[in-house]
Amino acid sequence: MSITGECFCGEVRYKISGTLRDARSCHCSRCRKAFSSQASAYALIDASEFEWLSGHHLLTSYLGKHGFGLQFCSKCGSTICGVFNGVVHGVTLGCINGDPHIELGRHIYVGSKANWETIADGIPQYHEDVIENA
């Protein structure tokens, strides 16, 4: 099974030939700004299973000081994926087409969530981040 995704305008498209893992929603103030939302919804991938189908030339990158960053469509602004040292390590769940057969496993950085946000019960919440060994 392959997973496909695309930006809002449809110009940037990708395919993942494997599965998503470690889906989480981050509520920190930086993710709220980067995703223009109350939180980010994000899952990790195996970089060797990821390929750009079209629009790679439209990507713009924002890289932080430690090599982590985001890539987004320069035409419509959709945040597409996360990168580390130039390699795609995860994708935003909002840009995936269809059912990726994954559920959020945790909410992280809920200690800095927006005051107006209410997080539904049923998924573990962590004040900061946790690393889970699957």
CATH of the domain at 75: 2.170.150.70
Strand partners, 106: 24
Domain tally for the chain? 1
Percent of the chain whose pLDDT exceeds 70: 95
- Rounded to the nearest integer, the mean pLDDT of the chain is 88
CA-CA distance, 20 to 3, in Å (whole number)?
A: 9
Look at residue 121 and tell me if it is in a domain: no
129: its two tokens: 């981040």
- Let me know: does 97 contact 79? Beta carbons within 8 Å: no
**pLDDT exceeds cutoff 80 at 129:** no
Q: Which domain holds residue 105?
A: 3-112
118: its two tokens: 């209410």
Look at residue 55 and tell me if it is in a domain: yes
Look at residue 122 and tell me if it is in a domain: no
- pLDDT band for position 134 (cuts 50, 70, 90): very low
Q: What does the pLDDT look like over 8-53, one tens digit per residue?
A: 999 999 999 999 999 988 888 787 877 778 878 899 999 999 999 9
Q: What does the pLDDT look like over 67-115, one tens digit per residue?
A: 788 999 999 999 999 999 889 999 999 999 999 999 898 888 888 888 8
- Let me know: does 71 contact 98? Beta carbons within 8 Å: no
User: pLDDT at position 50, please?
Assistant: 96
User: pLDDT at position 83, please?
Assistant: 93
**pLDDT exceeds cutoff 90 at 65:** no
53: its two tokens: 């189908």
Look at residue 106 and tell me if it is in a domain: yes
